[in-house]
A and B are shown apart, each in its own frame.
Chain A
């Protein structure tokens, strides 16, 4: 067997591929499910926090700022470990899926709040004043005048963050979630062949390559004018 044959036999072994492809596909859907749940919860929570912050209630704002800083400073895997391995010590246990979902949602929430808040503060004061002077109430001004302007500005950074954080779903494999990476690793240890990993890598590229391209497009489409 030449080196090349050996390489193919290791990384592109068709027999192993056929055997583990179904598992990888299951993992693929699980990854998508997890990512979707994270995006929904994280962005909703982040937006809610940003809106609450615009009410300018001092102690509440300090709490929000602290939460945001906390989840920007902590590595996601540390949060996952704390929830998954730590909570049982206090008699409470979360599934791996729930731990990964909660952790990454909190991280996305923090970044989302930060980005939305920056967007809101970037809308000039004159916009608030003009809207209020026409008789719009605070909440109307926020939702009808300020947020639409702020959201547009936040689209590029938010897209990039969301992509980066949803890629973190791979961390769920560390807490025994059979997502793409989890399924691939299990496959490798059963078959003693790295082909499942190759499949896993391909699955991630299939999943995220279009997303990265989308991010590129969004960045130029909604670019800030300098």
Chain B
């Protein structure tokens, strides 16, 4: 393989020009998908984290089992199971429906763990001070504990969100026309790797600033913990 072959296979401007419209449409779907699954995961995670503050073991153990189950299953397995499995049970799900369900279960468990750690990082005294002024459990949670919890685990929340956005690429497996899917389509039509390369560059440009930010925050966090 000469260097020219390589350039032609991965960086052909011609191919890029042809493939650009469908790559762009894929990019928009990726953004849309992220805008759906991130809030879904956060909502699911918040519910799980709030439930984890309930001390009863009738809540605690099923909750841990739930969270660990969906952390043990690879997200792609969950997605394929929902998409390819449910129709056999007479439940037809669209690709986007399957993605929503799969991501809700998987990323909800992860956000739940992050937020739970955040809640546990808030000193007990905060809760006691709030309760001593007559705030209810939920008011204390909403106004005193959660805001501090979120702040304490902000790097982990951002990191998790980064992973979720990256994870939307598995939606290509269930033929949802997001960025990777469109790049694969273009590649298989043109027999050229440029569209996939372009998709990679787009992902990188989109997410690099987040990675930089995280690396800063995490360094500060690990240094602050000693």
Direct interface between A and B, CB < 8 A: yes
Alpha-carbon separation in the docked complex, A10 to B184 (Å): 32
User: Dominant SS at the A interface?
Assistant: helix
Contact of A208 among B73, B89, B212, B214 (CB under 8 A): B73
Chain A residue nearest in CB terms to B221: A118
Separation of A180 and B76 alpha carbons in the complex (Å): 12
A114 contacts which of B6, B193, B199, B218 (Cβ < 8 Å)?
B218
A185 to B89, CA, bound (A): 17
Q: Closest CB-CB distance, A102 to chain B, in whole Å?
A: 15
Binding-face segment, A40-48, A51-59, A80-88:
A80-88
Q: How far is the CA of A118 from the CA of B193 in the complex (A)?
A: 36
Q: A201 and B73 in contact (CB under 8 A), knowing A72-B211, A122-B225?
A: yes
B-side contacts of A73, CB under 8 Å = 166, 203-204, 206-208, 210-211
Inter-chain contact A194/B84, CB cutoff 8 Å: yes
Q: A82-B200, A90-B10, A122-B226 are in contact. Are A204 and B169 (CB under 8 A)?
A: no
Count of residues in A whose CB is under 8 Å from the partner chain: 63
Within the complex, which residue of B121, B193, B223 is in contact with A85, where a contact is CB–CB below 8 Å? B193
Which residues does chain B contribute within 8 Å of A201, judged by CB atoms? 73, 77, 81
Determine if A11 is an interface residue (Cβ-Cβ < 8 Å): yes
Which residues of A, 100-143, contact B by the 8 Å Cβ criterion? 114, 118-119, 121-122, 124
Return the chain A residue nearest B76 by Cβ: A170
Tell me how far the C-beta of B71 lies from the nearest C-beta in chain A, rounded to whole angstroms.
5
Query: In A48-106, which residues have CB < 8 Å from any B CB?
Result: 68-70, 72-79, 81-82, 85-87, 89-92
A125 to B: closest C-beta gap in Å: 11
Q: Within 8 Å of chain B (Cβ to Cβ): is A162?
A: no
Partner of B72, one of A193, A197, A212: A212
Judging by beta carbons under 8 Å apart, are B200 and A79 in contact? yes
Q: Check A75/B71 contact, CB under 8 A, given A10-B89, A91-B5, A174-B173.
A: no
Q: How far is the CA of A180 from the CA of B80 in the complex (A)?
A: 12
B180 & A205 in contact (Cβ 8 Å cutoff): no
A181 in contact with B80 (CB, 8 Å)? yes
Alpha-carbon separation in the docked complex, A72 to B1 (Å): 29
CB atoms of A122 and B203 under 8 A apart: no
The residue that A11 contacts in the complex, of B89, B173, B210, with Cβ under 8 A, is B89
Tell me, in angstroms, the Cα distance from A196 to B83 when the chains sit together: 14
> How far is it, in angstroms, between the C-alpha of A224 and the C-alpha of B117 when the chains are bound?
13
B191 at the interface (CB under 8 A from A): yes
- Find out whether the CB atom of A74 lies under 8 angstroms from the CB atom of B69: no
Q: Which residues from A are CB-within-8-Å of B75?
A: 167, 170
What would be 25 A-B contacts, judged by CB atoms less than 8 Å apart? A6-B90, A69-B208, A72-B214, A73-B166, A75-B203, A76-B166, A78-B196, A85-B184, A85-B193, A87-B193, A114-B218, A153-B222, A164-B163, A167-B75, A170-B76, A173-B76, A181-B76, A181-B77, A200-B77, A208-B73, A212-B68, A213-B68, A216-B68, A224-B226, A225-B225
4 extra A-B contacts, CB within 8 A, seeds A81-B184, A85-B193, A197-B81: A89-B193, A170-B74, A204-B73, A226-B121
Taking Cβ atoms with an 8 Å cutoff, the residues of B that contact A are: 1, 5-6, 8-10, 68-69, 71-77, 80-81, 84-85, 88-90, 121, 162-163, 166-170, 172-173, 180, 183-184, 187-188, 191-193, 196-197, 199-200, 203-204, 206-208, 210-212, 214-215, 218-219, 222-223, 225-226
A residues in contact (CB < 8 Å) with B? 6-7, 10-11, 68-70, 72-79, 81-82, 85-87, 89-92, 114, 118-119, 121-122, 124, 153, 163-164, 167-171, 173-174, 180-181, 184-185, 188, 193-194, 197-198, 200-201, 204-205, 207-209, 211-213, 216, 224-226
